[in-house]
Structure 1
Amino acid sequence: MESSESSQAGDGQANDVPERAAAFFDVDNTLVRGASVYWFARGLAARRFFRHRDLAKFVWQQARYRLHGKENHEHIADVKESALSFIAGRRVADFIALGEEIFDDTIEAKIWSGTQALAEAHLAAGQQVWLVTATPAELADVIARRLGLTGALGTVGEVHDGVYTGRLVSDIMHGPAKAEAIRELAAKEDLDLSLCTAYSDSSNDLPMMTAVGHAVAINPDPALRRAAREKGWQVRDFRTGRKAARVALPTAVAAGAIAGAIAGGAALRRRRSGGPLS
């Protein structure tokens, strides 16, 4: 059973603000255990959408970005180039349909119920609830739709004639890009950001969290926990004991290790059976 802790009394701002308020939720490790794009990519690999070794390569590139992308422009360039390359040439409609399947098969079970309850409290108060994530926009939309949320802001891939080109339309939805995205959304939806709330697990999302009037650290990394303590933000941790220690590790690194094991195991089985290597 999940547990919840808070550094302050109360249950957030969901029931205390007018309709011009909204809530913005990060996805990975905030709403979903681990990296949603990894669970999705693994589901695509299981459906022979691409090879397991391509999955390992993709996840390793994401790991480098998560570890170094905040400071290292070379790594940012690498991940921009590879972020949607694994679906280049695929139809958007097929991608979305598979996203629905993979949500049902895998991602739904990875949702933190405590975070989902917070989102539902904002909805019950008549507020908009948006996901803001580096996850591809179509997958983020699937998650938002299945959870009954207002919508999602995600990384946008270029599409030509209903097919992905493998290139990005703009920046990855990460760091300062999230703050800019919610400012644009606030202008469009007539939201008052001083009344809005942002939720995240990562210090990378400090630009988004400081752009609103209220912020809550969910399953925070050490740097975000320190920032929350300094700023007096609520802290909610739905992890317990050793499980929390594991989740605190960089998500993509753990995912990369799993992907490597999948690829290595598949190659070993093929060698033993005399089959071709992918």
Structure 2
Amino acid sequence: MPQPLYVFDLDNTLICGDSSTLWSRYLVRQGFADNAGYLQQEKRLMRDYARGDMDLHEYVALTMSPLREMPIALVDRMVAQYVASEIVPRIYPQAQALINQLHADKQPVLIISASVSLLVKAIAPVLGITHAIGVEVKSDNDRYTGELDGTPSYQHGKISCLNDFLASHQLYDGKLTFYTDSINDLPLCELADRVFMVNPCPQLAAQGEQRGWPALNWQLSRF
């Protein structure tokens, strides 16, 4: 019997906020990045992202720059602390309830995010999700270089990454349901059999109104 696949964006879809921006602010608070220049550049690039035209190479190079001299094991420990303190309180309860129900129904679930994989793959387990795809970053001599590795899971690249995943995981031959908030995910929305917009940005909301995609209003009480 064909088995459907449920695919989720991460930032502002499963969690309240953007994990990359929150990570950048965390690095500043921990003293690993310059407050004025670093966050100003990150904010500028995220404005580009909201318009759908961010240079991902530039963004990853910027946000990985404070980590280039750190051993990967140290970065992993920092990420684990960050996820526990900054991400877990931001998980939408509606998202967690849906994921739990999908697991109970034995439906396969996948996260595909344009955030770097070292964040995405640390966040996925706290949501109870095994399979997760993020932007891969090259490493050399046990350090991250800040350069992209392979096709990034961003805009049309999410489709390429999804196809690669499906080719190596024989768990799906049915319909695709996709949850997202962002106009950057329009290519994957157009591929999916069903789309649910979670607190959609204005551009995606306009597309969804034309195409009949339902919008979900997921909220937290504390933010």
Instruction: Give the alignment's TM-score, normalised by structure 1.
Output: 0.71
**For the structure 1 residues 62 and 19, does the alpha-carbon distance in structure 2 shift closer, same or farther, using more than 3 Å as the test?**
farther
Asked if 1 retains the 8 angstrom alpha-carbon contact of 2:151 and 2:161, the reply is no
**For the structure 1 residues 109 and 55, does the alpha-carbon distance in structure 2 shift closer, same or farther, using more than 3 Å as the test?**
farther
Match of 1:95 in 2: 75
Amino acid at match of 1:56: L
C-alpha distance in 2 between matches for 1:166 and 1:77 = 9
CA drift of 1:81 comes to 4.0
Amino acid at match of 1:164: Y
Amino acid at match of 1:23: Y
Match of 1:130 in 2: 110
C-alpha distance in 2 between matches for 1:76 and 1:135 = 10
2:82 match: secondary structure: helix
Match of 2:187 in 1: 207
2:22 equivalent to 1:42: no
Cα-to-partner distance string for 1:155-202 (whole Å, 9 max, x where unaligned): 111111321112121344211011111121112112446412111001
Structure 1: where are the runs of 5+ without partners? 1-17, 248-278
C-alpha distance in 1 between matches for 2:148 and 2:182 = 23
Asked if 2 retains the 8 angstrom alpha-carbon contact of 1:69 and 1:76, the reply is no
Amino acid at match of 2:111: L
**For the structure 1 residues 96 and 62, does the alpha-carbon distance in structure 2 shift closer, same or farther, using more than 3 Å as the test?**
farther
Asked if 2 retains the 8 angstrom alpha-carbon contact of 1:27 and 1:131, the reply is yes
Q: How many pairs were matched up?
A: 222
2:172 equivalent to 1:189: no
2:96 match: secondary structure: helix
* Residue of 119, 134, 155 corresponding to 1:154: 134
* Residue of 201, 221, 225 corresponding to 2:201: 221
Structure 2: where are the runs of 5+ without partners? none
**For the structure 1 residues 171 and 80, does the alpha-carbon distance in structure 2 shift closer, same or farther, using more than 3 Å as the test?**
farther
2:214 equivalent to 1:237: no
Q: Quick one: percent identity of the two aligned structures? A: 24
Runs of 4 or more, structure 1, over 6 Å off, are none
1:134 match: secondary structure: strand
Match of 1:66 in 2: 49
C-alpha distance in 2 between matches for 1:223 and 1:51 = 33
Match of 2:11 in 1: 28
C-alpha distance in 1 between matches for 2:47 and 2:107 = 36
C-alpha distance in 2 between matches for 1:188 and 1:58 = 37
1:106 match: secondary structure: helix
Instruction: Give the alignment's TM-score, normalised by structure 2.
Output: 0.87
**For the structure 1 residues 127 and 175, does the alpha-carbon distance in structure 2 shift closer, same or farther, using more than 3 Å as the test?**
same
Which moves more between the two structures, 106-115 or 219-228?
Answer: 219-228
Asked if 2 retains the 8 angstrom alpha-carbon contact of 1:33 and 1:111, the reply is yes
C-alpha distance in 1 between matches for 2:61 and 2:24 = 17
C-alpha distance in 2 between matches for 1:80 and 1:68 = 18
Cα-to-partner distance string for 1:217-267 (whole Å, 9 max, x where unaligned): 111112222322332322211249xx9xxx9xxxxxxxxxxxxxxxxxxxx
* Residue of 117, 122, 126 corresponding to 2:97: 117
Cα-to-partner distance string for 1:93-123 (whole Å, 9 max, x where unaligned): 1112111111111111111111222222222
C-alpha distance in 2 between matches for 1:223 and 1:60 = 19
Which moves more between the two structures, 85-94 or 54-63?
Answer: 54-63
C-alpha distance in 1 between matches for 2:159 and 2:125 = 22
Amino acid at match of 1:143: I
2:48 equivalent to 1:55: no
Amino acid at match of 1:126: K
C-alpha distance in 1 between matches for 2:146 and 2:184 = 25
Cα-to-partner distance string for 1:127-157 (whole Å, 9 max, x where unaligned): 2222111111011011101121022110111
